[in-house]
Copies of this chain bind each other. A is one copy, B any other.
Amino acid sequence: MQKIRLTIWNEFRHERENPEIAKIYPEGIHGALARGLAADDLEIRLAALDDPDHGLSDEVIASTDVLIWWGHCAHGEVRDDIVEKIHTRVLEGMGLIVLHSGHFSKIFRRVTGCSCSLKWREAAERERLWNIAPCHPITREIGEYFEIPHEEMYGERFDIPTDGEILFISHFEGGNVFRSGVTFERGYGKIFYFQPGHESYPVYYQQEILQIIGNAVRWARPVFFRQMSAPQTPALDKITSVNTAPVTGILQNIDGTAK
């Protein structure tokens, strides 16, 4: 089986601008994820907002099977034309994994069609994620629940479409709940939103988190790539109703006026 070509995209600003964050993620969140996910069946590339074309040239997009997305404070700086290309590629089959504050990214709002709004609080509180889809490939080797010692709170109501299959529901120490792991399909592509991963806490070093993201990469692998089209298509069966009634005749019959 061919390797999965995984591109990990990171806004990569907090880690360069904030020394506290830099201590947690000295190589960036994308770097930490790349180390944590490294495996024989994956071919991993990194990309960041401030790279040329955000590191997402046409060649990179065309050769990516699964794209991981982490963004936070600079969603607005992501170029619309590149978002458009990513969206098209997702519809053609590319997998997309959106992490944490990526809920407000252009690409996630675009694939969901929703505002993706939610409640939030940064209080270093404990989050407990309940696994409600124990047979799903993304929850493989995850038990009934697991905890993150300190995490930013994301709380309901989370404005997402209801076709999302809910894999995790989180219980926050401060009193909120959240659908923290949800899958979608758009076109031929699979999408996974996963809430954990605030930049101030070392969440992406935690074993369960890496297990889940790794599972999601394999799950989101394209079955195939195929361009979307709207083909004119010949009739398969004989059409006999053509011209049996002229259009104007029908119009007269229905609205009763003479033309």
State A226–B237 Cα separation when bound (angstroms). 35
A191 to chain B, nearest CB (A): 9
A44 CB within 8 Å of chain B: no
A248 to chain B, nearest CB (A): 6
Q: Is the CB of B236 within 8 A of A176?
A: yes
A86 to chain B, nearest CB (A): 12
Binds B, one of A9-17, A57-65, A67-75, A111-119: A111-119
**Provided the pairs A113-B186, A161-B163, A259-B23 are in contact, do residues A201 and B247 lie with their beta carbons within 8 angstroms?**
yes
Partner of A144 from the list B157, B166, B224, B237 (CB cut-off 8 Å) is B157
**Provided the pairs A223-B135, A254-B207 are in contact, do residues A124 and B187 lie with their beta carbons within 8 angstroms?**
no
Set of chain B residues within 8 Å of A104, measured between Cβ atoms: 230
Q: Is the CB of B247 within 8 A of A173?
A: no
Number of interface residues of A (CB under 8 A): 92
Set of chain B residues within 8 Å of A171, measured between Cβ atoms: 171-172, 175-177
Query: In the complex, which residue of chain B has the Cβ closest to the Cβ of A161?
Result: B163
State A243–B149 Cα separation when bound (angstroms). 10
Q: Which A81-140 residues have a C-beta within 8 angstroms of B?
A: 87, 91, 93, 104, 110-115, 117-121, 123-126, 128, 130-132, 134-135
A residues near B (Cβ < 8 Å) are 20, 23-24, 87, 91, 93, 104, 110-115, 117-121, 123-126, 128, 130-132, 134-135, 144, 149-150, 153, 155-159, 161-166, 169-177, 179, 184-188, 190, 200-202, 205-207, 223-224, 226, 228-237, 239-245, 247-248, 250-251, 254-255, 259
